[in-house]
């Protein structure tokens, strides 16, 4: 969990990815004796592709889901007929999507095939996630997350038997399998907020609690495979200072005002400078200026120079503001 791919996934993702070797289309099996409660279709209208989502439950508090399912079994398709309960269209990450689906009540056994994954053009993975309402994550402003199940995110692998859990946990790593993640929790983290510091998820100033999509927001977090590496995950809201969407990595320093880790940055009236030298999505060297002006307001702007130098630094009229 915790992958970053702005602007659509500016915040750490709340699910895991299974990457498929070659262009295969393997079967998808139910992970247990469960009830399928929802089936949906997600279509990328811009690219002309679509796939299914499947949600399963074994109790009212827990659900597990699969995304980017290529096909569903006849048992499921016989129940997935119109009319549909939801049907909406939205745009994120430069693409337009249509989602539609309905609630169902289909009992399946552990190991029963429920569909297939992979095989669509450009699709090399499928997603798996889980929510457990008995678990509540500690976001700095939980009110921002109440309309989403993200606040109840858990690692789906943790709910498997110990033997299978160990086998799957050993696979966690970068998309091609190397390097592996070794720092606990190996499944990754979604909520990385540290209150009263710069670390965590930030919302474009003026965003209310009914926000939809992550495109305009910002995350100052850590890499999901190497959590010792801090990263800026930038959406579409910093164009005023010519900082494009992307993931920007740097090597953290333990003192001073240059490249400090985000949880060291407090509302101390200082402007901090970050220097990226070809790390993450950036080509060449750039600088980013950050200030926590209050415990809940963050200012950020691309610096004018390619190196931080010795400071002090100042903002221009192109600075952007974000809030918890």
Q: Pick from 198, 196, 203, 91: which is nearest to 143 by CA? A: 203
DSSP H or E stretch at residue 74 = helix 74-77
The answer to whether residue 245 sits within a structural domain is: yes
Reply yes or no on whether the pLDDT at 278 is more than 80. Answer: no
**What is the distance, to the nearest Å, from the Cα of residue 11 to the centroid of all Cα atoms in its chain?**
5
233 and 156 in a single domain? The answer is no
164 and 204 in a single domain? The answer is no
The answer to whether residue 190 sits within a structural domain is: no
Is residue 200 classed as helix, strand or coil in its secondary structure? strand
The answer to whether residue 127 sits within a structural domain is: yes
175: exposed, middle or buried (Cβ count in 10 Å: 0-12, 13-18, 19+) = exposed
The answer to whether residue 162 sits within a structural domain is: yes
**pLDDT tens for each residue of 86-105:** 999 988 778 898 999 999 99
DSSP one-letter code for 116? E
User: Across-strand partners of 277?
Assistant: 285
Whole-structure pTM value: 0.92
125 and 235 in a single domain? The answer is no
The answer to whether residue 25 sits within a structural domain is: yes
At residue 94, φ and ψ (nearest 5 deg) are 85, 0
Please list, in sequence order, all residues whose beta carbon lies within 8 angstroms of the beta carbon of residue 86, skipping any fewer than 6 positions away. 40, 99, 100, 101, 102
Q: Are 121 and 14 in contact (CB under 8 A)?
A: no
The dihedral through the CA atoms of 21, 226, 219, 257 has a sign that is negative
135 and 204 in a single domain? The answer is no
32 and 155 in a single domain? The answer is yes
At residue 169, φ and ψ (nearest 5 deg) are -60, -35
> Can you give the pLDDT at residue 201?
98
21 and 165 in a single domain? The answer is yes
The answer to whether residue 189 sits within a structural domain is: no
Q: Which pair of structure tokens corresponds to residue 134?
A: 């008995």
The answer to whether residue 180 sits within a structural domain is: no
Domain total of the chain: 2
CATH of the domain at 98: 2.70.70
**pLDDT tens for each residue of 157-173:** 999 999 999 999 999 99
Q: Which pair of structure tokens corresponds to residue 216?
A: 């305009």
pLDDT bucket at 120, cuts 50 / 70 / 90 = confident
Q: What value does the mean pLDDT of the chain take?
A: 94
DSSP one-letter code for 134? T
DSSP H or E stretch at residue 128 = strand 125-132
102 and 221 in a single domain? The answer is no
Q: Are 324 and 144 in contact (CB under 8 A)?
A: yes
53 and 147 in a single domain? The answer is yes
Query: 209 lies in which domain range?
Result: 200-323
pLDDT bucket at 285, cuts 50 / 70 / 90 = confident
Q: Which of 118, 151, 169 is the last residue of a domain?
A: 169
Give the C-alpha separation, 72 to 28, whole Å. Answer: 9
Q: Which of 117, 151, 169 is the last residue of a domain?
A: 169
The residue length of the chain stands at: 324
**pLDDT tens for each residue of 185-195:** 999 999 999 99
């Amino acid at each position: 969990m915790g992958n970053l791919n702005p602007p659509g996934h500016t915040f750490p993702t709340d699910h895991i990815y299974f990457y498929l070797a070659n262009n295969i289309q393997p079967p998808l099996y139910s992970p247990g004796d469960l009830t399928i409660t929802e089936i949906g279709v997600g279509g990328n209208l811009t690219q002309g592709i679509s796939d299914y989502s499947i949600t399963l439950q074994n109790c009212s508090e827990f659900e597990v889901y699969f995304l980017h399912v290529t096909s569903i079994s006849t048992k499921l398709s016989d129940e997935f007929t119109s009319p549909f309960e939801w049907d909406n269209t939205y745009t994120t990450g430069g693409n337009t999507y249509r989602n539609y689906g309905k609630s169902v009540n289909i009992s399946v056994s552990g190991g029963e095939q429920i569909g297939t994954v992979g095989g669509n053009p450009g699709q090399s993975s499928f997603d798996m996630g889980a929510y457990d309402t008995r678990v509540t994550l500690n976001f700095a402003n939980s009110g921002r997350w109440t309309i989403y199940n993200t606040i109840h995110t858990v690692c789906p692998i943790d709910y498997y038997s110990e033997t299978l859990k160990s086998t799957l946990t050993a696979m966690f790593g970068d998309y091609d399998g190397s390097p592996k993640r070794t720092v606990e929790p190996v499944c990754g983290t979604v909520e990385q907020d540290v209150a009263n510091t710069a670390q965590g998820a930030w919302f474009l100033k003026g965003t209310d609690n009914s926000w939809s999509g992550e495109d305009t927001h910002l995350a100052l977090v850590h890499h999901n495979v190497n959590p010792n590496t801090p990263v800026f995950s930038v959406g579409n809201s910093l164009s005023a200072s010519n900082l494009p969407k992307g993931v920007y990595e740097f090597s953290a320093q333990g003192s001073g005002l240059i490249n400090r880790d985000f949880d060291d940055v407090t509302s101390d009236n200082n402007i901090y400078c970050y220097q990226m030298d070809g790390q993450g999505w950036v080509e060449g060297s750039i600088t980013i200026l950050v200030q926590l002006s209050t415990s809940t307001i963050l200012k950020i702007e691309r610096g004018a120079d390619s190196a931080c130098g010795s400071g002090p630094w100042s903002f221009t009229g192109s600075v952007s503001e974000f809030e918890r």
